[in-house]
Structure 1
Amino acid sequence: MEKNQFNRFKNQVAIITGGADGIGKAISLRLALEGAQVIIFDINEKKLSDIKEQFSANHWECSTIVVDIANEQSVQQAMAKTYAAYGKIDVVINSAGIVGPTGTSITDYSFDSFQQVCQINLFGAFLVAKYALKYMAKEQYGRLLLIASIAGKEGNPNMAGYSASKSGVIGLVKGLGKEFAEKGITVNGLAPAVVKTAMNEDTAPEQLAYMTEKIPMKRLGTVEEVAAIATFIVSPENSFSTGFIYDISGGRATY
């Protein structure tokens, strides 16, 4: 595989959380294809090792750091290490997340599960944004993308934790977009409908069928489709869009 001729991210430093698998992995590969120096944060050490081998097979370089985005010290140290190594952080995409219980009424949904989903999906997004924006502000340039979900816009029944946490991510994007609008930094979100990833392998079949049926295209999205729009959102050419939630839902979202 050869580098993309456009090289939109040449000389740029890009961090992808959850970048060793699923959507994050596809985005990591696409950014590398377009010239970025990629740094992958993920909690899964084995998958980090696997993706590093895949990068090497393509004659690309990437750095990997084991990071728990739900832990402030872990995020703070990883961001500081990256900035110290490269002198800047141009792009950060927060793709790490979990689905939590599916096909589960709130009356049966444990509070511990709700806390865990919010801790990773929402509090993790907060921590990644907090420390990414700290370094972007130093350079007066940055592109921050938080992966949300159509569930955060419309709500999915029997997925209380996931829907609520992703709604929180959307609110975070809107507030931060305004907060940093005059600092050369854009903050946007991306709300996919259900995408074919390993994360959905444990989703209850009836839940998956419900979500697919809601999509006018009547199919799941692919990680490559998500990566294509994500890389545009964080590219230098996307300079007049911030605080916005982009749609990639096969027609499900129409506003």
Structure 2
Amino acid sequence: MKGGRPVTTTPPASTAPSTAVQPAASVPPAEGPLVETRGLSKLFRVGSSRIAALNNVDLTVPRGSFTAIVGTSGSGKSTLLNMLAGLEKPTAGEVYVAGQPLHRFSEAQLVAYRRQQVGFIFQSFNLLPTLTALDNVALPLSFQGMPKARRRARARAVLTQLGLGQHLHHKPTQLSGGQQQRVGIARALAVNPTIVFADEPTGNLDSRTAERILTLFRNVIARYNQTWIMVTHDQHIASFADTVVSIGDGRITGIHTNTTPEPGARS
């Protein structure tokens, strides 16, 4: 993604809102971290036993940062992401995103939170095979009640910003893995999210494409001053983030702040 202003669709003067991607307006600016958990725990019952997927996790994530949560399978990293994304409720503890107490939210409130404030990026891209890139990106905007013409204009603008202006009408099978993941990124950005969650986003990509996608992540985060949280099992992938949170057996085992400016060169 090269320099210059984002491509936007220009509305008639004072008659239609811009389709350019802007920081989310649904949550007012505030001081302090964007994400905070206090004593967060999640227990699952297996037969007569109770298994702790998360155990007393305290975590803060600054606004405008890129955080990687890294751990092996079964470490609790995906459970933690699900809590922050409002997909699961904790057994105990508190979780706040932009000051909102997700642990107190009803299911209807959590649905509204995910729909209006959260962007998701997936390992398997999760693109609908019968839809074009343009329509895949526009789809979540329909759930926000945005008119068709406006959501297609927004989708077109975001895809163009990510270098996919020549692929608007291509279906997923006509795109490379890296291009499909860029469509996934565009879909996440199109909703103007407060926070973006990426679940093993490079798992289906070769190493060179993965590094290009992670560099794109950093460029997008810097351009829009967004907060992104990624889970991964790969320490090298995690090294692209500003902060690496290591997790094992449901507990945070370490937090490392990266200071090396060159992505991928961090330890």
**TM-score range with shorter-chain normalisation?**
0.3 to 0.5
More helix by share: 1
TM-score (norm: length of structure 1) = 0.34
Answer 1 or 2: higher relative contact order, Cα 8 Å, separation at least 6. Answer: 2
